[in-house]
Amino acid sequence: MRGVALLLVALLLPACHGGSRGTIEPAASAGGGGAPAVVEVSWSRDVWPILVVHCQLCHTSGSGADQVPDMRMTDSATFYQTWVRVFAQCNPNLFRVSPGRSDLSFVMNKISEVAPLCGQRMPLEGAPLDDADQATVRSWIDQGALHN
């Protein structure tokens, strides 16, 4: 019976894939084994759209624009330059985004912790980023925070 259940899971799992972003997926191989393949996360395709939906309004004309004026989200290229390898205003010991190190990136602390190192959890208005969006940002940072 356990063998049948495992077979069903193996057959149905690909149908439930749904194209999640920034997650690890099984690599296709003839033998059924193999190392997992990392899905490349793109700044322009995956990360910027998350920021536009959850952050841009406040960081363009709201309190975020007033409190952190160098983080105005007017366009993707300019914002990337103010985010990556730039020290955080309220914690100058951490980069906002430290390429390859989401654990040392201030932005991950701000979007994932209920009580971040300083200030409040982002976004201030609306619900926190869901787990999938947080994982996308985390994966993009861990993959080197490329401007792709």
97: DSSP letter: B
CA dist 63 → 22, 55, 60, 71, 124 (Å): 30, 11, 9, 11, 9
Return the pLDDT at 32.
55
**Between residues 37 and 23, which one has the greater pLDDT?**
37
CB 50 within 8 A of CB 140: no
The predicted-structure confidence for 80-139, as pLDDT tens digits, reads as follows: 999 999 999 988 999 999 999 999 999 999 999 999 999 999 999 889 999 999 999 999
**Percentages helix, strand, coil for the chain, rounded to the nearest 5?**
45, 5, 50
Q: Percentage of the chain surpassing pLDDT 70? A: 77
